[in-house]
Amino acid sequence: MLAPMENMTDSCFRSVCHGADMTFTEMASIEALAKGDPFAWERIKLYDDTPCAIQLIGHKEKPLYDFLSKYKPEKGFCGFNLNLGCPDPEIIKAGHGVALVKRISKVKKLIDMIKSFGYEASVKMRLGLNQFEKDRKVYLNLINNVDADYFIVHARHGKETYADRADWSVFTECVKTGKNIIANGDIKTKKDVEKLKYCKGVMIGREAVFDPLIFLKLKGLEITNIENVKAEYEKLAQERNAHPKYSKHIWKHIGF
């Protein structure tokens, strides 16, 4: 799976990550979608049949209900994903993102509501707000008690940065719950993927920005090269009138 990444994984980048079995939109605010905010609706627009789950951030049931009542699935749509990982202080203050990992009954209500509309519902989570929550294993409590179709576990807590290594040791106990667990955090090579084979799948973020061919490479299917990918990306950005910030962010990294 290609990870959602703000200001990077717009529809153009998702389309050129050939070989990824699933992609995700950047997070879109449930409240903004419910209010009909055009910026939020543009974020969740799907342009082709690239498999894509729409990532939602928020915690209130009423706006979620209002949004879901309006939403009409497009080609490529593969359900909704709830963000329980964003560690931004403003997001936490609002009670969203990683602040929700310990709020089992709230998350259960949101996931059950998405499913009641007939859509697949998944969770993307960190291990808790901080070391204290991680030590109390709030993430396991959530996985055990919420009926999501799959759980993407980014193996860091909310106070950790990318300088801290993702703690892959947590995946074993997550898998033991019997739920579908997707491993995430610092996964870069075929060897890494082999090590995590006991999980249902893996999600790759930053490494895919350096090399969008990573998914094909991991599958032994190198049917194109980086120059073709760049050209395809530019063409799509033009056709879809993509905001220039995306190519600016992507070009800093792509192909290295």
Ligand X SMILES: Cc1cc2nc3c(=O)[nH]c(=O)nc-3n(C[C@H](O)[C@H](O)[C@H](O)COP(=O)(O)O)c2cc1C
Please state, in angstroms and as integers, the Cα–Cα distance from residue 192 to each residue in 6, 12, 247, following that order. 24, 27, 29
- State which of residues 11, 15, 18, 26 lies at the interface with ligand X (CB under 6 A): 26
Residue type for position 141 = N
- State which of residues 154, 181, 213, 250 lies at the interface with ligand X (CB under 6 A): 154
Tell me how many residues contact ligand X (CB under 6 A).
20
Closest CA to 78 of 173, 135, 150, 177: 150
184 binds ligand X (CB under 6 A): yes
Q: Tell me how far, at minimum, the Cβ of 176 lies from ligand X, in Å.
A: 22
Q: Tell me how far, at minimum, the Cβ of 192 lies from ligand X, in Å.
A: 10
Residue number of the CB closest to ligand X reads 205
- State which of residues 186, 211, 218, 247 lies at the interface with ligand X (CB under 6 A): 186
Q: Using alpha carbons only, what angle is made at residue 140 by residues 138 and 144, rounded to the nearest 5 degrees? A: 120
157 binds ligand X (CB under 6 A): no
d(CA 132, CA 88): 18
d(CA 49, CA 53): 12
14 binds ligand X (CB under 6 A): no
79 binds ligand X (CB under 6 A): no
Judge residue 158's burial from the number of C-beta atoms within 10 Å of its C-beta, 0-12 exposed, 13-18 middle, 19 or more buried: buried
Instruction: Closer to ligand X by CB, 23 or 83: give it.
Output: 83
d(CA 79, CA 100): 20
Residue environment code for 227-252, b if the CB has 16+ CB neighbours within 10 A, otherwise e: eebbebbeebbeebebeeebbebbee
44 binds ligand X (CB under 6 A): no
Instruction: Closer to ligand X by CB, 17 or 187: give it.
Output: 187
Instruction: Closer to ligand X by CB, 4 or 128: give it.
Output: 4
Instruction: Closer to ligand X by CB, 10 or 72: give it.
Output: 10
Binding range to ligand X, per CB under 6 A, among 3-11, 30-38, 42-50, 105-113: 3-11
Q: Which residue has the tokens 């990573």?
A: 214
The angle that helices 226-239 and 244-251 make with each other, rounded to 10 degrees, is 170
Q: Tell me how far, at minimum, the Cβ of 108 lies from ligand X, in Å.
A: 19
Sign for the CA dihedral angle at 13, 15, 19, 24 comes to positive
212 binds ligand X (CB under 6 A): no
Instruction: Closer to ligand X by CB, 56 or 236: give it.
Output: 56
- State which of residues 19, 63, 205, 212 lies at the interface with ligand X (CB under 6 A): 205
27 binds ligand X (CB under 6 A): yes
85 binds ligand X (CB under 6 A): yes
Binding site for ligand X (CB under 6 A): 3-6, 8, 26-27, 55, 83, 85, 124, 154, 184-187, 204-207
